[in-house]
Each structure stands twice: as structure tokens, then as C-alpha cells.
Amino acid sequence: AFLTQKPEGQQALNAAYGDILLAFDTFVANVRPDQPIILAGHSQGALHLTHLLKDRIAGTPLAKRIVAAYVVGWPVSIDTDLAAMGLPACTSPDQVGCIMSWQSFAEPAEYGRIVEVYDRTTGFNGESRANTKMLCTNPLNGGAAAQADAQANLGTLKPAIDMTSGELIPAAVPARCDDRGFLLIGDPPELGPYVLPGNNYHVYDYPLYWSNVRADALWRVQQFLARPVAAPRNRLTAR
């Protein structure tokens, strides 16, 4: 779908997104009305998640139930997309109801082709994404700072060759959001044969920070559940 300019490509993406909408609506209808929700996607899944946030979360009561949304491996424009998605970027590991997003490259990073395609697209607000900064939230510190050294990495998941198992390696790679919004991981680590051209670690966006992402999600759930519940208003005085 991404490698063709034919209309069938967009039709395939639309069909996939329609399936996601049906699944999400079914999920919401079958869980408790106060059930906290974590949303996570990667690559095409993250693309669909940006639309799901815009179409199902932004401006609705569901927004108050979102613990966090992990929109990983797909560019999100801070200027043209974020407001329409209804949640702010995460700037602290204690924050809830926010978006974590990153795209991983080892150095030297060659992401010119991605930027070229990105700059030709239109954002959710109808304006060009050209020259707009992409959202980058550092997965090693919950978005609190642009840079974190490798010691903050609780564990990178290095898969076995046959992908049936893996090894957790602490302090393997650092993370730094650059000026355009890409996440740089330093020297190329050896994780397997699926690194894309230009030192693009797209396939490994989650495994690079496996333990941190798990810890981040669990901690945000704790913060969400610890929030005080608003007391009901007195019906005799409320207007």
C-alpha cells in the first residue's frame, strides 16, 4: 500500500483502518465504562492510531480514560497533527493522558528520504507538514528530556536469529531527540538483519527500549489509578 501511487493502495489502508475502528468500538462497548485504556501502535499501526485518536478520542469522554498513547514508528507533526489528536505530548513519566512517539536511527542517520515524503503530506489541520517538527518523546525518561544516556536503558530486547526468543541487555543504547524530531541511538547496535537503509532502526523501535516502555506503561497506570476521584456535585445547588 505504501509503495504504490495507485488508488488501490489507499483503499487497502482505508480497509485496514475500518477494521481497527470496528475492533475499537467493540472493545469500548464491552469493557467497564470507567476502564483505563492504553493505546499502542507501530509503523502502519501507528498511522492508524493517529486517525483513531482524531476520530474516536479527541473531544470525547474517552479522552479522560486514556493512560497513554504510544504512537511509535510513524511521524506526527507537532504543528499540524497533535492538536487534532486530542492529547498532548508526554513531558514527564508521571503524566497521564498523553502521547509518546519516536522514530529510531543510529548514527550517522540518513533520514532524508523520509523527510522528503513527509514534507509532501498534509496534516490533520489541512496545512502542509513541510518543515514542521516531528514529535519525539524520549522513551528512556518518559519524555522529560530530549537526551538520556545508555545507563537509563533498563533493557534492550535482542531477538534470537530465529525470532523465537530474545535477550534483554541493559544499558545497550542511549536516546536523543534531534532538532527535526528523530530519535538518535548513537553507534549502530547489533540487533539482527532487519536494519533498514540509512541506519534506520524502524523494526526495532520498541525492542530498543523494551524494558523502559513496559515500566513506563505500568508506572503511568499507577499514576492514573492514584488520581483523586471528583466528588459528585450536590444536585440541589448544581446548575
Pairing mode, if any, of strands 104-105 and 166-169? Answer: unpaired
| Dist. CA 227–CA 47, nearest whole Å | 30
**Among 121, 126, 152, which residue's Cα sits nearest to residue 139?**
152
**Among 88, 112, 117, which residue's Cα sits nearest to residue 100?**
88
- Predicted confidence at residue 230, as pLDDT, reads 58
Pairing mode, if any, of strands 66-72 and 37-42? Answer: parallel
**pLDDT tens column, 60-96:** 999 999 999 999 999 999 999 999 999 999 999 999 9
Q: Calculate the CA dihedral of residues 42, 44, 50, 56 and round it to 10 degrees.
A: -100
| Dist. CA 66–CA 62, nearest whole Å | 7
Q: Calculate the CA dihedral of residues 196, 200, 202, 207 and round it to 10 degrees.
A: 100
Pairing mode, if any, of strands 183-184 and 175-177? Answer: antiparallel
Residue ranges in the chain modelled with pLDDT below 70: 229-239
Q: Angle 44-52/7-30 helices, nearest 10 degrees?
A: 60
What DSSP letter does each residue of 112-128 carry, written as one string? HHHHHHHHTSB-TTSSB
Residue 100 CB-density burial (10 A; 0-12 exposed, 13-18 middle, 19+ buried): buried
